[in-house]
Amino acid sequence: MDTTDVLTVSEVADRSGFAASALRYYEREGLIEASRTSGGQRRYARSVLRRLAFIRAAGNVGLTLDEIRRELSSLPATRTPTKSDWHWISAHWRTRLDE
């Protein structure tokens, strides 16, 4: 991960609105990933903010963590998801959005 494009736990918490404990939980659950510094501190790629926004939106429409994990697993791991990636995923839960 390029060190110029990483965020600390507190930066991600501030920008996403999620508590640091939620970030650690989502990491344990495999919903987001973090790298570690030599001192063991977590560092997140900037793209984690989009994943967290998706987690919040999906939770707001009633998706379970298992459903969210399944949807996020279809996203590319090597690049930031595009608008078409998100569109494809949201099509899977369109019914819930319509409700």
Reported for 48-53, long-range contacts at CB under 8 A and 24+ positions apart, including other chains, are: 48/7, 48/12, 49/7, 49/12, 49/15, 49/16, 50/80, 50/81, 51/75, 51/81, 52/12, 52/16, 52/18, 52/23, 52/26, 53/16
Q: What is the mean pLDDT of each run of 10 residues along the chain (99 residues)?
A: 79 97 95 92 92 88 87 74 79 73
Q: What is the pLDDT of residue 2?
A: 54
The CA angle 13-21-63, to the nearest 5 degrees, is 85
